[in-house]
Amino acid sequence: MAYPEDLVGKYIRWNRTGTALSAEEKKSDEYVLTGHSANLPVPVFHYFAGSPGKPGARGAPSVPPRPANFINLTPWNISFLDYFPGKVTAVQSQSPVLTGPMSGCYLFRYQDQSSTWYAHVGTAETEEVSVQAKTKWKIFAETSRMATNIWGQSPLRFFDDQTLASAGLLAGGPPHIFGLFQPGQDGNKGFYAVLLARIKSGAPEHGYVKVCAVKESYLQRWDVIKKTDAFKDIRT
């Protein structure tokens, strides 16, 4: 059972850079590269032994006490869906799927027969690279007979400037927006925008990422998204 609100204020030791593709995969002409996920077992250090307000085991930073209604729930076990600019990566997972950071990227959930998959369309600041990724996704979504019930969103839409500025002060630099899919959901449900900030040098929690905000969001049907400015001019 996923309960994203319990992540707020917690710390993750996480150093993924978003470039973990092999040389062959980077050259691949496949529309969707599948299976790109790195398991993050119990990455939220609140769950290690230790009293609230004091350092926990294994060097975990101090954390707020866990809300009473979460005490008996299972700890988080998150899968991270890696990305690469110009590519579309996808993974099938029974765990919550975290992916990002976002630079204008779109995230999608779709069905392939009886399995649920999660995809990251790897856009970038370079328009040529962004078009490559969007073209690959559009061809896949429009021509694959196996991909059905496609829903997507860009998490960039869900945080205001004040929230971003507050997170930036904590981290000593720009925060980053990620997307989080909750498994076992369908339609427009089970999607969250997550704001992560890497803790600045000199702080006790340096080297960790703090979950500054988790905002329940919504997904849109592919038939709607493909008509938006992000995709309508992409030629396939």
How would you write the pLDDT of the chain (236 residues) with one tens digit per residue?
Answer: 346 777 777 777 665 555 566 777 777 778 777 766 665 543 444 333 333 444 444 444 444 455 555 555 555 677 888 888 888 888 888 888 888 888 878 999 999 888 899 999 988 777 888 888 899 999 999 988 888 999 999 888 888 888 888 777 766 667 889 999 988 777 788 899 999 887 776 665 666 778 888 888 899 999 999 999 888 888 77
Q: What is the pLDDT of residue 222?
A: 94
Q: Is residue 168 part of a domain?
A: no
Q: Is residue 11 part of a domain?
A: no
Q: Is residue 200 part of a domain?
A: no
DSSP 118: E
State how far the Cα of 44 lies from the Cα of 189, in Å rounded to an integer: 23
Residue 83 lies in domain: 17-158+178-193+215-225
Number of domains in the chain: 1
DSSP 201: T
Q: Is residue 151 part of a domain?
A: yes
Q: Is residue 150 part of a domain?
A: yes
Q: What is the pLDDT of residue 36?
A: 67
Is the CB of residue 192 less than 8 Å from the CB of residue 219? no
19: phi > 0 → left, psi -120 to 50 → alpha, else beta; which? alpha
Q: What is the pLDDT of residue 138?
A: 92
Full-model pTM = 0.80
Q: What is the pLDDT of residue 16?
A: 58
Is the CB of residue 96 less than 8 Å from the CB of residue 74? no
CA 163 to chain centre: 18
